[in-house]
Chains A and B, each alone.
Chain A
Amino acid sequence: MNPGPIDLASISVIILLCAPLLVSLLSRSQRLLIYSGFALTAAASLLAVFAGAWTVWSGETQKLIMLIGLPDLPFHLRLDPLAGFFLVVIGLLSFFVSVYSIGYVKGFLGKRSVTSLAIFYCLFLAGMYMVVLSDDALIFLISWEVMAAASYFLVMFEDERIENRRAAFLYMVVAHVGAIAILLSFGVLAGLATGFGSFSGYTFDAMRSAHFPTEWATVAFLLSFFGFAAKAGVVPLHVWLPEAHPVAPSNVSALMSGVMLKTAIYGIIRVTFDLIRVFPWWWGAIVLVFGLVSAVMGVLYALMQHDLKRLLAYHSVENIGIILIGIGLAMIFTAFKLPLLAALALTAGIYHTLNHAMFKGLLFMGAGAVLHATHERNMEEMGGLIHLMPWTAALFLIGCISISALPPFNGFVSEWLTFQAFLLSPSLPSPLLKLLIPMGAALLALTGALAAACFVKAFGVTFLGHWRGHHRPNVREADWPMRIGMIMAAAACLFLGILPTLAIGWMDAVPQQLIGTSIGTSAGAFGWMWLTPVAYQRASYSGPIVFFGILGIVIAAYLLLHVRPGAIQRVPIWDCGFEKIDQRMQYNATSFAMPIRRIFGFLFNVKERVRTSQQTVHKAFPKKLYYSLHVRDRFWGWLYKPVIAASFWGSRKVGRLQQGRIQAYLIYSFVTIIVLLVFLR
């Protein structure tokens, strides 16, 4: 028998599940453990990428039934183009990050044992692969929990710090509330598929072949959307994300932000397009609205941050929003029977999924390299790193350009496709939607601009200028495994930006499977050079031409302005007559974000305070100024505090039952017996 893609994918999962054994055997020799453990995960990831790419390429679906698990409830695995696509997304970034980890994790040597990090890293990857491979509710939820639990331990890795423990706990709570919602949703679907008396509805196949009444399908959809949104970090369920991502080791944050959130996207697509299939348009509207809110709020929150990894975490919220916009539009178009537009919007969404995995992984790896070198997360303490870490700076810049949706990199292509989908919405039959959806396009445009501003800040403050901190650490450039990991991710960003036609032609099987139409023929009608999503009269984009155009301009500018003798002169800076200018007076992250904070301040809980020191000669000449700024998430006060307070209140009330007196407990059982005898005899 020839091994099919699903066999390769299963082997990859098995390798990852067995790797912890090897890792724990090697725990005495930590250096060997790092090399062999992460090489193994890299190999397994490559295998998964290969299996996924093969499946999407051939457009075929393979199934596997494993006779393990509970009696009479075997595990079903299935590899269809959708699962294959997400396998590629997860596997590709996991491969890059595994290579990167070889260098990054060495930073922990001598400080703490990395055995647990390696073990849970393997289990985390295995969990993610299993989520996309699973074809019944049981194994889906098991894998989902494996993924959540493993990532919990990864967030907890440096558990001596209280912020890590708090973040991990918050993450665990949100993940489990979400998982319960998903469980209930599958319960509703399974029950409706074969009746509540039998268990056979737990397979996705049974759900696929069932027909659901609209109201129950809506319940299932809302529950699953809530559950997946909690995992994806959709506003207002995003609070765990900016806490958990910054404190995890950077290779893990790259994976959590880059691909773990994507499993939630996968879940949403799987449940709506594949399991329920027929849905009213307003489901799409819900997804669209949450996507828009997440995109705008995410980027605005990101602008307020001065912790580099926290900033990136908020950008994940934003990008998940953009992906959801694509998926929401696809759902609306599908509901109105416009399959071509739906395919366009879905392609935009999943293309952005892939792109976001690449550039967010790259950015987190870059941030990890900076953290590794400086042991500093606060941007206000950094600066001028471009001289000390040229490789990291250049690669981080590529990530910044990509995420800011600027050509010629990949972020531009997928956001441009999303805009195309938006601009085609006037063909919808509903006048209200015709009016409202283009306003969403305006919000998306705002998001793009703000993201660009945010990354000007992130890159500028971190890498440009002079060192802002008080004491200067001994900064060294990232080592080769880290660089190679980042270079590969950057190359993927460039490739997906320059040759989108090839990528879209490849991923065509996904909309073909889910919607029945694809845009590959129209998108690639003019060869690999030109991307024409609907028709060439409407819009077209050529990645290669733009790339070479920009490259030409950059080279010309470099030759004219940099290489020419006398083009650069070094002189003392003009200090406005204020003689004691120093590095602390540079433009910094807080000052950069101030105009935007003034405009959108009403969305945050901003506490800004300036205080002059007491010991002054005159009010006009204060010796010292103290400035403090606290920007807080309003959702915390609006949504989470009441829930926390209510649960504490409820627990206290229930706690009164605990009297500590045996008589009281006996009375409880006595009264229970009497009541049962009276009512149930």
Chain B
Amino acid sequence: MNLAVAAQIISFLAALVLLSAFGMLVQRRMYGLIHLFAWQGLFLSISTAVVGFVAGKHHLYISSVLTLSLKVVLLPYILHVLIQRLKIQKEVETVVNVPMTMLIGIALVIFSYHLTAPVREISTLVTRSVLAIALATVMIGLLMMITRRHAVTQIIGFLAMENGLFFAATSATYGMPLVVELGVALDVLIAAFIFGIFFFHIHTTFDSLDVEQMARLKEGD
């Protein structure tokens, strides 16, 4: 596979990642959200494998497999179970309406391209063009955390942010050292568990997973 083709494939996968990020921003149903998240993980995993193949970095295959097993299989499964156990309603409420969120998301993408312009000029990597998309994915994940009210959607936003960071790492520097990546993967797993425990407690305390309820914890004047 020559470099030009690889660059094309990676760009295509990056576009899919961005698309799934936007999809998550728009998606109103909980299961749909989790599926989109799993899809994003899949694209990420494939693009990691492609980068590893092109650049000859074989440890990226391990990262790719890790991503596949964690973000495509395990975490969506945990979230599924959580939703069923806690009998969470399937509709997702948003704070800001969807078209508005989309517009902000588009603005963020443009902003990321603007930000990474200097990097793209000096970089020589195959993957340099996708750095902007990685950054945009991070910011869209954060945006999702801001605009959603439900705790489960917030953790999906958080995990989407993590996806973006991972993508940025592979695209900007051909991935971090393996030890670091293993650590990060473990962190994500543990974060998911902790979130799960917290969800359970929040649910028993407030009878809901709507984070608006937590405003009641605020210290009064």
For the complex, what is the distance from the CA of A674 to the CA of B216, rounded to whole Å? 29
For the complex, what is the distance from the CA of A667 to the CA of B95, rounded to whole Å? 12
From known contacts A652-B221, A677-B115, A681-B115, infer whether A660 and B214 are also in contact, taking CB-CB under 8 Å. Answer: yes
**What mask results when residues 658 to 681 of chain A are scored 1 for a CB within 8 Å of chain B, else 0?**
111111001101100110010001
Contact partners of A658 in chain B: CB under 8 A = 218-219
A242 vs chain B, min Cβ distance (A) = 33
In the complex the two chains form, is B218's CB within 8 Å of A663's CB? Answer: no
For the complex, what is the distance from the CA of A504 to the CA of B221, rounded to whole Å? 60
For the complex, what is the distance from the CA of A219 to the CA of B51, rounded to whole Å? 61
Q: Is B212 an interface residue (CB 8 A)?
A: yes
For the complex, what is the distance from the CA of A669 to the CA of B212, rounded to whole Å? 18
**What mask results when residues 173 to 216 of chain B are scored 1 for a CB within 8 Å of chain A, else 0?**
00000000000000000000000000000000000000110111
In the complex the two chains form, is B218's CB within 8 Å of A666's CB? Answer: no
Which of B68-76, B82-90, B141-149 faces chain A? B141-149
Interface residues on A, range: 10 to 19
B210 vs chain A, min Cβ distance (A) = 11
Using CB atoms, name the residue of chain A closest to B144.
Answer: A666
In the complex the two chains form, is B115's CB within 8 Å of A662's CB? Answer: no
Q: Is B129 an interface residue (CB 8 A)?
A: no
Partner of B211, one of A662, A669, A674: A662
Contact partners of A663 in chain B: CB under 8 A = 95, 145-147, 149, 211
In the complex the two chains form, is B218's CB within 8 Å of A670's CB? Answer: no
In the complex the two chains form, is A666's CB within 8 Å of B219's CB? Answer: no
For the complex, what is the distance from the CA of A658 to the CA of B215, rounded to whole Å? 10
Most buried by B among A655, A659, A661: A661
In the complex the two chains form, is A662's CB within 8 Å of B218's CB? Answer: no
For the complex, what is the distance from the CA of A663 to the CA of B143, rounded to whole Å? 10
B132-161 residues with Cβ-Cβ distance < 8 A to A are: 139, 142-143, 145-147, 149, 154
A665 vs chain B, min Cβ distance (A) = 9
Contact partners of B118 in chain A: CB under 8 A = 681
For the complex, what is the distance from the CA of A594 to the CA of B39, rounded to whole Å? 89
Contact partners of B217 in chain A: CB under 8 A = 660
Partner of B218, one of A652, A659, A677, A681: A659
In the complex the two chains form, is A661's CB within 8 Å of B214's CB? Answer: yes
For the complex, what is the distance from the CA of A655 to the CA of B221, rounded to whole Å? 9
In the complex the two chains form, is A661's CB within 8 Å of B211's CB? Answer: yes
For the complex, what is the distance from the CA of A658 to the CA of B217, rounded to whole Å? 11
For the complex, what is the distance from the CA of A673 to the CA of B136, rounded to whole Å? 13
A630-671 residues with Cβ-Cβ distance < 8 A to B are: 652, 655, 658-663, 666-667, 669-670
Main secondary structure of the interface of A (DSSP, over half): helix
B3 vs chain A, min Cβ distance (A) = 29
B114 vs chain A, min Cβ distance (A) = 9
B134 vs chain A, min Cβ distance (A) = 14
In the complex the two chains form, is A666's CB within 8 Å of B142's CB? Answer: yes
Using CB atoms, name the residue of chain B closest to A670.
Answer: B142
Contact partners of B154 in chain A: CB under 8 A = 662
Interface residues on B, range: 20 to 34
A134 vs chain B, min Cβ distance (A) = 42
For the complex, what is the distance from the CA of A663 to the CA of B145, rounded to whole Å? 7
Contact partners of A677 in chain B: CB under 8 A = 111, 115
B26 vs chain A, min Cβ distance (A) = 18
Contact partners of B95 in chain A: CB under 8 A = 663
From known contacts A670-B143, A670-B146, A677-B115, infer whether A661 and B215 are also in contact, taking CB-CB under 8 Å. Answer: yes
Using CB atoms, name the residue of chain A closest to B142.
Answer: A670
Contact partners of A670 in chain B: CB under 8 A = 139, 142-143, 146
Most buried by A among B118, B145, B146: B146
A667 vs chain B, min Cβ distance (A) = 6
Using CB atoms, name the residue of chain A closest to B95.
Answer: A663
Using CB atoms, name the residue of chain B closest to A660.
Answer: B218
In the complex the two chains form, is A660's CB within 8 Å of B216's CB? Answer: yes
For the complex, what is the distance from the CA of A670 to the CA of B149, rounded to whole Å? 16
Using CB atoms, name the residue of chain A closest to B216.
Answer: A660
Partner of B146, one of A659, A667, A681: A667
For the complex, what is the distance from the CA of A124 to the CA of B126, rounded to whole Å? 69
In the complex the two chains form, is A662's CB within 8 Å of B214's CB? Answer: yes
Contact partners of A661 in chain B: CB under 8 A = 211-212, 214-215
For the complex, what is the distance from the CA of A670 to the CA of B143, rounded to whole Å? 8
For the complex, what is the distance from the CA of A102 to the CA of B95, rounded to whole Å? 70
B209 vs chain A, min Cβ distance (A) = 12
For the complex, what is the distance from the CA of A674 to the CA of B212, rounded to whole Å? 25
Contact partners of A674 in chain B: CB under 8 A = 111
Contact partners of B111 in chain A: CB under 8 A = 674, 677
Contact partners of B142 in chain A: CB under 8 A = 666, 669-670, 673
Contact partners of A673 in chain B: CB under 8 A = 139, 142
Partner of B215, one of A660, A667, A681: A660
Contact partners of B214 in chain A: CB under 8 A = 660-662
Contact partners of B218 in chain A: CB under 8 A = 658-660
A512-536 residues with Cβ-Cβ distance < 8 A to B are: none
A669 vs chain B, min Cβ distance (A) = 8
In the complex the two chains form, is A659's CB within 8 Å of B215's CB? Answer: yes
Using CB atoms, name the residue of chain A closest to B212.
Answer: A661
For the complex, what is the distance from the CA of A681 to the CA of B119, rounded to whole Å? 11
Using CB atoms, name the residue of chain A closest to B218.
Answer: A660
For the complex, what is the distance from the CA of A673 to the CA of B215, rounded to whole Å? 24
For the complex, what is the distance from the CA of A670 to the CA of B115, rounded to whole Å? 16
Using CB atoms, name the residue of chain B closest to A652.
Answer: B221
In the complex the two chains form, is A666's CB within 8 Å of B216's CB? Answer: no
Using CB atoms, name the residue of chain B closest to A667.
Answer: B146
For the complex, what is the distance from the CA of A15 to the CA of B118, rounded to whole Å? 66
Using CB atoms, name the residue of chain B closest to A661.
Answer: B215
B170 vs chain A, min Cβ distance (A) = 21
Most buried by B among A658, A669, A673, A677: A677
Contact partners of A662 in chain B: CB under 8 A = 145, 154, 211, 214
For the complex, what is the distance from the CA of A655 to the CA of B147, rounded to whole Å? 23
For the complex, what is the distance from the CA of A660 to the CA of B219, rounded to whole Å? 8
Using CB atoms, name the residue of chain A closest to B116.
Answer: A681
For the complex, what is the distance from the CA of A681 to the CA of B95, rounded to whole Å? 31
**What mask results when residues 225 to 256 of chain A are scored 1 for a CB within 8 Å of chain B, else 0?**
00000000000000000000000000000000
A548 vs chain B, min Cβ distance (A) = 71
Using CB atoms, name the residue of chain A closest to B157.
Answer: A666
Give 23 CB contacts A-B under 8 Å.
Answer: A652-B221, A655-B221, A658-B218, A658-B219, A659-B215, A660-B214, A660-B215, A660-B216, A660-B217, A660-B218, A661-B211, A661-B214, A661-B215, A662-B154, A662-B211, A662-B214, A666-B145, A666-B146, A670-B146, A673-B139, A677-B111, A677-B115, A681-B118
5 tightest A-B CB contacts, nearest first: A660-B218, A660-B215, A666-B146, A662-B211, A661-B215
Given contacts A659-B215, A673-B142, 7 further A-B contacts (CB under 8 A): A660-B214, A663-B147, A663-B149, A663-B211, A670-B143, A677-B111, A681-B115
| Chain B residues in the interface with A (C-beta under 8 A) | 95, 111, 115, 118, 139, 142-143, 145-147, 149, 154, 211-212, 214-219, 221
